[in-house]
Amino acid sequence: MNDEPALILFMSAVGLYVLHLWIQDYRAALNGQPSAQALPGAAPTTPSACFIAAAGAVLLLIVETFGEIRLGISAEQTEITLLFGVYTLIAAFIEELIFRGYIVVEGRGKALRWAGIVGASVLFAGLHPFLWSWDMGSSAMWQVFMIWRWSEWLTWDFSTKGVFSTAILFVSSLWFYTVRFASFNRTHSLLPCIVAHGTKNLGVIAVKGYQGFVSGWW
């Protein structure tokens, strides 16, 4: 996707539109008129909740960066464009809305909630292409429904880089869920989660830029 600017622009536009809807719901709740059909987590919260969330994300970024250096895999970064970097910030909101917004277990006790959080975090980490890659070659897009051919297009990668990056994503997901339901976020607002995820992704872009893995505008 990194080399498909038209697709990136389209996905960014969709993400910005959904973000606009969420902000509308957030402002309504802020004004004391929450909508019954509001998107998940569109509730006011405190600046301190956002600060704690962002601080945790920075700590995760530090662990990730120095962990890669320690393991000798910092040179195995994938290159991105600035356009794709901006898209990852928008995608951070969409991922939070889906995972920390919709994929949650509510009203069934803390044990089931945390079981759901762990399961969702495994899914969140696994969906990012670090342990696998997908290449359909010249096959037509409609052939993606030919499930018996997936083994031809799917390649697994259990290298140190793949395992470490996936583990960081799993822990990051646990942190984002923790932020959603923490005592310092009493309204269970999604805003601190969005701030944390956005901070983490922005930090990744900065680290990639410093290491020379940001190439061109698009």
Instruction: State the burial class of residue 145 (Cβ atoms within 10 Å of its Cβ: 0-12, 13-18, 19+).
Output: exposed
Q: Are the C-beta atoms of residues 191 and 50 closer than 8 Å to each other?
A: yes
Query: Which of 29, 9, 11, 64 has its CA nearest to residue 191?
Result: 29
pLDDT cut 90: percent of the chain above it: 78
The residue type of 141 is: M
CA 175 to CA 182: how far, in whole Å?
10
Q: What DSSP element (H or E) covers 98?
A: none
Tens of pLDDT, residue by residue over 27-47, are 999 999 999 999 999 999 999
Q: Please give the Cα distance from 1 to 105 (Å, whole number).
A: 32
In this prediction, residue 3 carries a pLDDT of: 67
pLDDT of residue 218 exceeding 80: yes
Tokens 């910005």 locate to 16
pLDDT at 142: 63
pLDDT of residue 155: 87
Please give the mean pLDDT across all residues of the chain: 92
- Hey, what are 134's tokens? 């997908």
Q: Is 49 exposed, middle or buried (0-12, 13-18, 19+ CB in 10 A)?
A: buried
Whole-number pLDDT of residue 10:
95
Q: pLDDT category, 184, cuts 50, 70, 90?
A: very high
pLDDT at position 143: 64
Q: What's the whole-model pTM score? A: 0.92
* pLDDT-derived band at 207, boundaries 50, 70, 90: very high
- What pLDDT, in 10s, does the model give residues 78-107? 899 999 999 999 999 999 999 999 999 888
pLDDT at 4: 85
pLDDT digits (tens, 9 = 90+) for 122-177: 999 999 999 988 776 666 666 666 766 667 778 888 999 999 999 999 999 999 99
Chain segment 53-66, per-residue pLDDT in tens? 999 999 999 999 99
Confidence of residue 110 (pLDDT cuts 50, 70, 90): confident
Q: Which residues 6+ apart lie within 8 Å of 2 measured at CB?
A: 8, 78, 79, 80, 81, 84
Task: Please report, for the chain, the start and end positions of each structural domain, with discontinuous segments joined by +.
Answer: 5-132+154-211
pLDDT for position 164: 97
Strands 154-156 and 132-134: antiparallel
